[in-house]
Each structure stands twice: as C-alpha cells, then as structure tokens.
Amino acid sequence: MSDPALDVVEFVLTTHLYTEQRDLDENDLPPRIRQVFWSGGDADSEDPGGVERPLKATNSNARTATGVDHPWEAVSDQLFTQRTEFSGEISLTQPEMALDWYAERADEEQIRTNPTIVAALEADDDLEAPVSHAEARDNNRPIHADRVWIDALLDQYFDEEEDAEMLDLVNVRAPEEIETTLNDLVLTGDQEGEIQKIVKAIEHREYLKDIGLREIGKLLFVGPPGTGKTTISRALAHELGLPFVEVKLSMITSQYLGETAKNVEKTFEVAKRLSPCILFIDEFDSVAKTRRSDEHAALKRAVNTLLKSIDDVSLIKDEVLLIGATNHPDQLDAAAWRRFDEIVNFPKPDQDMRADILTVVTRDMQIADFDPIEVAERTEGLTGSDLRMVLREAVLEALTEDRRTITQEDVMTAVADFEERDNLKNMDMIDGEGAEVVGDGGHDHDHDHE
C-alpha cells in the first residue's frame, strides 16, 4: 500500500531538485509530476510547450500528482517541510534531510523511475542510487508519450477548423491510456518473433540507418476479425511507450470525397509529428476495393496518395512504425502487398491457445473449479474476442444472481448461449407469413471487435 507521506515528500523533493538542477529536462520528471507542470507552447512558434522553472509544490498540484487528499497534513510533522499560508506552497527547509529521509524509506522500484532523485543520489557521497541516472531515464516514460504533449503538439501543428475533418478520422492514444499489455495476450510463435524483431529494430535504429537498412518497420497483420490484430498493436504501443495513431481506411475513403487525398497526407503528417509512434491503418483491404472501382476519381487519387505515403514513411528515417491490418487478404493486389516488408499471420486460435487465452483472461476473476481445457474443447472456431465475450456473459449472469464467483457451469452455459446467438445471427431473414428472425433481444455479437 502506498505511503501518503512518502509520495508527497517525493513530489516536493522532485520539484525542488528539478528547479535547482538546470541540466535536467522534462524526461527527468516522472509523468505524474511533469503533467502537473506542463504548459503549452506559443501558437506562433513551433515549440509545443514544456515544463518551466521554478516548480512550486502546492496542496492542489500535490493532490493531483500523488492522489493524496490532504498533502500538507501528510507531511506537516516532518522537520524538513514548511507551508506558506498565503500561497499554499509546500517547500523544504532542509533538502538534504528530505533526500536522506526519502532514500531510507522508498523502495527501489519507486526510486528507479524518478531520474531527478536518482541524479541527486548520485551526486551525494553518502547516499547510493539503485540505478544510474541513464538507466532511470530509460525506465521513465518519455515526454512524447504523455497525453499533454500529444495534445499540445496537435494543437500546435493542426488548425482546429481547417483540419477538423482529418482529425475526426484519426484516433490518437497515449501509451498511458492503453490498459492492455503484451503480458495480457497469448501470441503465436511467429507473432512473438516479429514483435521481438521490431523491438530490436527500434532499439538499434541508428545502427540500421548507418548500414543502409532503411526499409524496415512496415508490417501487415492478416487474419479473421477478433484474432487480436488491433489489440496487439495497441499493446505494443504500451510496451514501447509510443503514441498510437489509429485510422480506419474505409472511413477515409468513404467520407469527405473532395478532401480524401489531403486527409490521407495529413494522417501521415500527424504520425511524423508525433514520432516516434505507431501508425495503425485498419481495414487495409479497402485499398484494393477502391483501386478496382471506377466510381470516384477522388478515391483513386486518395489510394495513390496512400501508397505513395507508405513508400515515403520509414521507421529508420521518420521513427514511424507502420502496421496495416486486413480481414480480407484475398482482396489485396500486388501493389498493396509489396508495400510491407513483413506479413504476420493472425489465425483463429487452436485448442491449446484457446485454453491459454481462457487462463489469462480469468486470472483476476473469482472462478471455482475452472477447467480451461474443457472449455477450449467446446469452443472450436472461436477467436480470442469471442472467448472474452463468453466469459463476460458468464460474469454478468452470475451478477444477476448476486454472485461474484463464477463456476465451470456458468462458463459452459455462456458457451451454449453464445453458440445459439451465433446460429441465429447467421440465419437468413424469413420473409412472408412467418415472423422475422432478428436475433435474441439485441444481444448480437460483433465479430469485428478486436
């Protein structure tokens, strides 16, 4: 359990040290602290903003950063703290004593993600830092992954009115907003291998640039809906601490026809401005459909713009990892295929994978006598998304009986219900004298959820 006094002392100590040490920058501040002090840049310059010295700790911003309801009360009995009544500022009377106090009580995990404090520990002959300052910076999420930085940069480079259409088509997530991690997912060996290669390519991109390997980092994820193409892409952004720029290609090629090509270009501009980042283009098969259509010349121009933009973007040069996803690889032509240097298959999970998925999804659930093998045997053809839906229904059904513990019987019943709903969904509508078959009361399952 977190110690309120320790958290508040860390906040006040960090603001003091950062103000005093002018060689430190925003990446030396833990995200929870720097977001409190972030200020947007000048609209007439190309600076998206930053953290300006001096930093002053108050009850208000300490509460925001630490989650402690009454920050001053948590540290008021410490000999090294004081509070200015008029301004509400909390400051240190003896910073050295505060650093000693903090170093003695904080665990290694808390210290190693605060480069500002690690720098102070390194400079003190009587204290020892658990990691180096460089390692602490590596452990700390970089500034470009913060929501405040992303919003400030988008405001800086894109006009709210002129670019409104394009920005409506692009969903930008900060890593901090992505809850799913790679540890929450069950991957095939091929998927794990490709992710590991990408992680290494990002880590060693300067080396790859030096030896002339620039056409790296354009992946195409291929597989049925619900097999995790989107989820794994988001989890990778979380793992790498990168902004996630998501766009559904069908929306770009079906809306705002007169502006489609411009919106495609600006989508890639967003990614380059936010780099390093992941640009995820969903429904990539709509490229092929459009290329074969004679309906709109504007759409053809947009697709040509898209393919040219893919050619021009690079993980090594622009620090943009491009991931395309398609449920219909058969609809892609050669021009689309050759834009990607790696094709990653997302098949429906086999029985062993289904059992592993069930085990991962239920690890935080209260479940009695659970046998994932039995469920896996019964759920052939279901995707990871389907299995999560089954378990969700089992939990909700138990809650209707005021139970928080689910049973194997609950899960198997949910499997049977899922199968029945799927059968109803796939039936043809009945015309004529009989009633229409329309599903089961609106609980239709969306196979496109990933």
234 vs 153: CA distance, rounded Å? 21
Could you give the residue ranges of the DSSP H alpha helices within 158-276? 164-169, 189-203, 205-210, 229-240, 249-252, 260-273
Structure tokens belonging to residue 173: 């997530």
Asked which of 109-123, 292-306, 327-341 is least confident by mean pLDDT, the reply is 292-306
Q: What pLDDT score does 41 carry?
A: 63
Instruction: Please state whether beta strands 89-92 and 57-58 pair in parallel, antiparallel, or not at all (unpaired).
Output: antiparallel
Query: Which letter does DSSP use for residue 14 in this model?
Result: H
> By residue range, what is the domain housing residue 406?
351-426
Both 307 and 365 in one domain: the answer is no
171: helix, strand or coil? strand
Phi/psi of residue 377, each to 5°? -65, -30
Both 211 and 171 in one domain: the answer is yes
Q: What is the pLDDT of residues 45-104, one digit of tens each?
A: 566 678 999 999 999 999 999 999 999 999 999 999 999 988 889 999 999 999 999 999
* Residue 336 covered by a domain: yes
Q: What pLDDT score does 386 carry?
A: 95
Q: Bigger pLDDT: 67 or 163?
A: 67
For residue 313, pLDDT beyond 70: yes
Mean pLDDT of 200-225: 90
* Residue 435 covered by a domain: no
CB of 344 closer than 8 Å to CB of 191: yes
Q: What pLDDT score does 200 carry?
A: 92
371 vs 28: CA distance, rounded Å? 47
Please tell me the total count of domains within the chain: 3
Calculate what percentage of the chain has a pLDDT beyond 90: 63
| 282: β partners | 248
Both 290 and 171 in one domain: the answer is yes
Q: Bigger pLDDT: 426 or 350?
A: 350
Q: What is the pLDDT of residues 10-41, one digit of tens each?
A: 999 999 999 999 999 999 999 999 999 988 76
Both 198 and 284 in one domain: the answer is yes
Q: What pLDDT score does 255 carry?
A: 55
Q: What pLDDT score does 441 carry?
A: 38
For residue 163, pLDDT beyond 90: no
Tokens 């259409």, residue located: 165
Q: Bigger pLDDT: 432 or 229?
A: 229
Both 276 and 316 in one domain: the answer is yes
Q: What is the pLDDT of residues 363-406, one digit of tens each?
A: 999 999 899 999 999 999 999 999 999 999 999 999 999 999 99
Query: Which letter does DSSP use for residue 142 in this model?
Result: P
* Residue 446 covered by a domain: no
Both 315 and 384 in one domain: the answer is no
Mean pLDDT of 281-307: 71
Residue 221 belongs to domain with CATH number: 3.40.50.300
275: helix, strand or coil? coil
Instruction: Please state whether beta strands 38-40 and 49-51 pair in parallel, antiparallel, or not at all (unpaired).
Output: antiparallel
CB of 95 closer than 8 Å to CB of 17: yes
CB of 386 closer than 8 Å to CB of 421: no
Q: Which residues of 367-406 are buried (b: 16+ CB within 10 A; e: fewer)?
A: beebebeebbebbeebbbbbbbbbbebbbebbeeeeeeeb
Burial (CB < 10 A; 0-12, 13-18, 19+), residue 442, is exposed
Mean pLDDT of 231-253: 88
* Residue 41 covered by a domain: yes
* Residue 215 covered by a domain: yes
* Residue 437 covered by a domain: no
Q: What is the pLDDT of residues 246-273, one digit of tens each?
A: 998 777 665 555 567 777 888 899 999 9
Instruction: Please state whether beta strands 218-222 and 320-326 pair in parallel, antiparallel, or not at all (unpaired).
Output: parallel
Calculate what percentage of the chain has a pLDDT beyond 70: 87
Residue 394 belongs to domain with CATH number: 1.10.8.60
Both 337 and 384 in one domain: the answer is no
- Choosing from 116, 142, 168, the residue where a domain stops is 142
Q: What pLDDT score does 284 carry?
A: 87
Q: What pLDDT score does 19 carry?
A: 97
* Residue 152 covered by a domain: no
For residue 425, pLDDT beyond 90: no
Q: What pLDDT score does 435 carry?
A: 38
Amino acid of residue 227: T
Both 393 and 337 in one domain: the answer is no
* Residue 65 covered by a domain: yes
Both 289 and 382 in one domain: the answer is no
For residue 174, pLDDT beyond 80: yes
Both 122 and 18 in one domain: the answer is yes
Both 254 and 340 in one domain: the answer is yes
Opening angle at CA 266, ends 264 and 271, nearest 5: 105
Both 301 and 387 in one domain: the answer is no
Asked which of 149-163, 224-238, 282-296, 378-392 is least confident by mean pLDDT, the reply is 282-296
Question: What is the overall mean pLDDT for the chain?
Answer: 87
